[in-house]
Structure 1
Amino acid sequence: MDTTTGPKEKEVEPAEGGADGAPARRDPEGVRRDILAAAGEVFAERGLSGARIDEIAARTRTSKRMIYYYFGDKEGLYRACLEAAYDEVRRGEEALDLGGLPPAEALARLVAFTFDHHRRHPAFIRMVMIENIHRAAHLRASRVAAERNRAAVARLTEILRRGEAEGVFRPGVDPLELHWHISALSFFNVSNRPTFSALFGDELFSEEAQARLRAHAVEMILALVRQEEPGDDDQA
């Protein structure tokens, strides 16, 4: 078990070279991003208990000492990786500029983005699965994760508000429940691929099949929120 603790908060940033002995560049944010990228890969592959700071340092241009300087200890680094992974999703959503789109188009784009993002970032899905094994203890301890992720529900709240005002979405749709549905459709596609493929084959994971599943996810979410047109109900 990696028991090394980090330095005191007032310690000056170490002036040392990278793992190859080259002089360190004064780019604290760049060093931090490099560490987070490497650590995220290792945690996704090995979990919190299996990850080693030595291996993480070996995948960066820095050292164990610098990792402890920036993140304190292994759990602090793991928590920072979780925060960064969720932040990447939220930043991707922000970049969609959904406020300028009609509500149905905005929601469709958000669902498609979520499906594609999760598919393209299986390490993120593995990190979330690992954190669920830990019963979200590290996310609960995060000072920024909950606040940052509220943006996802706020974004859906705004889309639903506009859709209801325009008469295209039915009233009373809960944005948190809708976020759950979107996450479930997108998450399972990645988290359960190994077991699903072992039982039923890889047919649904071809590019063509994945495009169909993404379209189905969009259709299902839109069907869930759409306002019923007169005459939609079956008549006796």
Structure 2
Amino acid sequence: MASPPSSASAAPPPAPKARERILATAVREFAARGLAGARVDVIAREAAANKQLIYYHFGSKEGLYVAALETVYRDIRAREANLALADTAPEEAMKRFVLFSFDYVIEHPEFVRLLAHENLLEARYLKSSAELVTMRTPLVDRLAQILERGREDGIFRSHVDPATLYTTIASLCFFYASNMHTLSVFLGTDLHDDEAIARYRANVVDVMLGYLTNRDASATLPAPPL
């Protein structure tokens, strides 16, 4: 583990814009190369930052990596909070959340790659983040409230665990984004194509809302030819 260089006096904190630039660069570098392959000197150069200052304020390469993980989680949680789900009818709120979850991973491949690297490490570094706990609870509570409102309106089925529901939604969205390359080869079709993405996007919504509302998915399919 790299350790910070010694300093006779406390270094000043990086300016907010400089910190944002360092973290954005770190996210890209760690997403592309993982913790082992990423280099702090590359991050410093591309962020136009002082390498010694990065070490001083993030403590080590590993500390910067944890900060990069927190950055991507912070971003997706902040965007979820802005969806105004509490002010939306339950079915529409759930549809909006599912669509957002899918669109986010498609539009942010660095998020997918960074989490893939951390999963290979068995979430060793994510476990050290105290900030992650503060991000998790509001999300689960938000989904629980939508589910409760849907049950009260007679729309959603009972006994749906919000954490399990989130895992299912994330799985359906994340798998497509993380496996587009291999699935395209295996299936012989380009899953990067806009039409393929739109088709799967609509399918994820149908699957989740069909489950939550107990609707028979076959009722929405065209009748087979006679």
Would the TM-score normalized by the shorter structure come out above 0.5?
yes
Q: After superposition, give the CA deviation of every residue in 1:134-176 in whole Å (9 maximum; x if it has no partner).
A: 1101111111112212222111111001101111111111111
Q: 1:32, CA displacement in angstroms? A: 1.1
Q: Which residue of structure 2 lines up, in the alignment, with residue 158 of structure 1? A: 145
Distance in structure 2 (CA, Å) of the matches to 1:7 and 1:153: 40
Q: Which residue of structure 1 lines up, in the alignment, with residue 4 of structure 2? A: 6
Distance 1:221 1:11, change over 3 A: farther
Q: 1:11, CA displacement in angstroms? A: 4.4
Residue 86 of structure 2: which of 75, 86, 99 is its match?
99
What pairs up with 1:30-179 in 2 under 5 angstroms? 30-179=17-166
Instruction: Specify every segment of 5 or more residues in structure 1 that has no aligned partner in the other structure, as ranges.
Output: 15-25
Contact 1:86–1:149 (CA under 8 A) maintained in structure 2: no
Distance 1:8 1:110, change over 3 A: farther
TM-score where L is the length of structure 2: 0.90
Distance 1:220 1:150, change over 3 A: same
1:213 matched to 2:200: yes
Q: Which of structure 1's runs of 4+ aligned residues deviate more than 4 A? A: 7-11
Distance 1:208 1:38, change over 3 A: same
The amino acid that maps onto 2:11 is: E
Q: Which residue of structure 1 lines up, in the alignment, with residue 224 of structure 2? A: none
Contact 2:183–2:191 (CA under 8 A) maintained in structure 1: no
The amino acid that maps onto 1:142 is: S
Q: 1:114, CA displacement in angstroms? A: 0.5
Distance in structure 1 (CA, Å) of the matches to 2:124 and 2:181: 26
| Matched residue SS, 2:125 | helix
Distance 1:142 1:10, change over 3 A: farther
Q: After superposition, give the CA deviation of every residue in 1:164-208 in whole Å (9 maximum; x if it has no partner).
A: 111111111111111011000110111111211222234332112
Distance in structure 2 (CA, Å) of the matches to 1:150 and 1:132: 21
Percent identical among aligned pairs is: 40
TM-score where L is the length of structure 1: 0.86
The amino acid that maps onto 1:13 is: A
Distance 1:105 1:8, change over 3 A: farther
Contact 1:170–1:228 (CA under 8 A) maintained in structure 2: no
